[in-house]
Amino acid sequence: MNRLVKGDTLIVTRMDRLGRDTEQLLELIEELEGRGIHLVKLNLGMGIRTPSRKFILTVMSAFRELDHTMIKEKQQVGIAIAKRKGTYKGKNRSSL
């Protein structure tokens, strides 16, 4: 990221590779735009220089974040159920 200069294009396959949440992603995009660096997302085949494209990116990022949160919640519910049943074994420490 530090090597990118004005006029460069950063191509990403997935936006979640750039930030952990929507806020962090949008901050990075603002920084790149401020530095004159173009960002292209491959699976959409588009840049984000227009307001409508930035809006689409924001919504997609928010949905990804929601999906990730829901998966974690389901995992925690599953662990709690397994613990109540006495079948929860935790992480396999031998593979760590």
DSSP 1-35: -TT--TT-EEEES-GGGT-SSHHHHHHHHHHHHHT
Say if residue 21 is exposed, middle or buried (CB neighbours under 10 Å; 0-12, 13-18, 19+).
middle
Per-residue pLDDT of the chain (96 residues; tens, 9 = 90+): 889 999 998 888 877 777 777 788 888 888 888 899 988 876 665 566 667 777 777 777 788 788 888 899 999 999 999 999 988 887 776 665
pTM score, two decimals?
0.52
Distance (Å, whole) CA 81 – CA 96 = 25
Domains, in order of start, for the chain? 9-87 (3.40.50.1390)
